Structure 1
């Protein structure tokens, strides 16, 4: 390996570390960190499939670290977690398998649309949250919705935290912080199951993924702390807009 090539790799890892720290915080606060990291990974030369795999595996340490920080909020949500955890695991496994059953060109073709959907979900979440606060019922097919969300998460995953939070807000009982904590657990399960699968069958860019994972692990508790202190809406607007820009650029490339 030439010195110039080594410098390029070092710069790439520094960029991944910086973006990973920021995305780890965002993922816990707003559930949309992949909207930031996915375009960056593409800019660093990864294929769409590699960027997706790196995102999925790399966020797991951050999810786990956030769970530990949220243990107080999770203590009251054990019945809900027991109800939906298996659905999240099975759905994610199915989504991950679909990703590799279909040709890679199908995924590459769908990426702009999926990225755009994730961005729109982030942008409209404040409106969804307002609607959910006025809802009078908390009944519904929560296991089926968690399963469906996890299938999407195993296949692509951008915006999965936003969808989980919307489902929980409509069909589960708890404070905003408690439901955000449950969202983090479901993200961890979905990403973890798909991530284990990808370790065996996917082209994992390991240097970048490991650096990314280490930074999300550091960032997870920071994001959990900040989620109790700052309003997430402005952050959602910024990330959602960046995601839409990235989706449009990929669509016209």
Structure 2
């Protein structure tokens, strides 16, 4: 591996860690970079997934202030992400990629619509929670858990842009600010990515390039710090626009390479 490749992979890891912390889809940077340098697709996918986990840790830590008071929500949803990720990882081992990639653009498009409509949806959710005659908390809780389970399966199987799905889901059903929801999203995405990484460590050791893992891990760790530092300063409207742009890029990427 040349010095140029080392620096390029590290830089891709920094960019991916930053974007993952703010919204997700960092793999759209690191994975093509590895393919461009001639790494086999499976090796690139497995090594990239493992390398991005440290960025999830630093990004989550950077959003610790926004996570204050959200322990109950995390205890409700983190197990759903864990189970969903296991299901997705098992599907990855048994199903062809085309079986799931066909619906990815549809899922992302729906999520982007939810992100755009988030202010109106959150206002309705808040009003219903405030009115005891229209208490739909149980229905919202069940839908939120089911959606998180599905997003976990998506993340465990496909991975790219799972943050867009989570932000669309959380923004529609949880009456919290965009930044606080982003903190929750980072925790749930970290759970999913960690499960997938552990799965690869058990069943796909032969496809791990530890040089790539180390470079992306170091880069994403730094990127998570940068993403949490600057992403937390984005106003809600700007963060919403950023999510939509990244989501559209992910849709185009999936459609053109699928």
Range of TM-score over shorter length: 0.7 to 0.9
**Are 2:80 and 1:87 equivalent residues in the alignment?**
yes
Q: How does 1:171-182 map to 2 (within 5 A)?
A: 171-182=173-184
Tell me the CA shift for residue 234 of structure 1. Answer: 4.9
Residue in 1 aligned with 2:20? Answer: 27
Q: Name the Cα RMSD after superposition.
A: 2.6
Tell me the CA shift for residue 134 of structure 1. Answer: 3.7
Counterparts of 1:116 and 1:47 in 2: how far apart (Å)?
25
- In structure 1, runs of 5+ residues without a counterpart are 1-5
Q: How does 1:198-213 map to 2 (within 5 A)?
A: 198-202=200-204, 203-213=207-217
Tell me the CA shift for residue 21 of structure 1. Answer: 0.7
1:127 to 1:156, Cα distance in 2 relative to 1, 3 A: same
Q: Secondary structure, in 3 states, of the residue corresponding to 1:232?
A: helix
1:249 to 1:47, Cα distance in 2 relative to 1, 3 A: farther
Tell me the CA shift for residue 52 of structure 1. Answer: 2.9
Candidates 161, 164, 187, aligned match of 2:163: 161
Normalising by structure 1, we get a TM-score of 0.82
**Are 2:231 and 1:227 equivalent residues in the alignment?**
yes
- In structure 2, runs of 5+ residues without a counterpart are 129-136
Residue in 2 aligned with 1:132? Answer: 121
Counterparts of 1:188 and 1:201 in 2: how far apart (Å)?
20
Normalising by structure 2, we get a TM-score of 0.81
Q: Secondary structure, in 3 states, of the residue corresponding to 1:42?
A: helix
Candidates 246, 252, 255, aligned match of 1:239: 246
Counterparts of 1:118 and 1:144 in 2: how far apart (Å)?
15
Tell me the CA shift for residue 112 of structure 1. Answer: 6.0
- Deviating more after overlay: 93-102 vs 149-158: 93-102
Tell me the CA shift for residue 94 of structure 1. Answer: 1.7
Counterparts of 1:110 and 1:44 in 2: how far apart (Å)?
27
Q: 1:85-123 CA deviation, whole Å, 9 max, x = no partner?
A: 111111111211221123xxx22x458646645764675
1:205 to 1:152, Cα distance in 2 relative to 1, 3 A: same
Counterparts of 2:164 and 2:255 in 1: how far apart (Å)?
21
Counterparts of 2:40 and 2:117 in 1: how far apart (Å)?
33
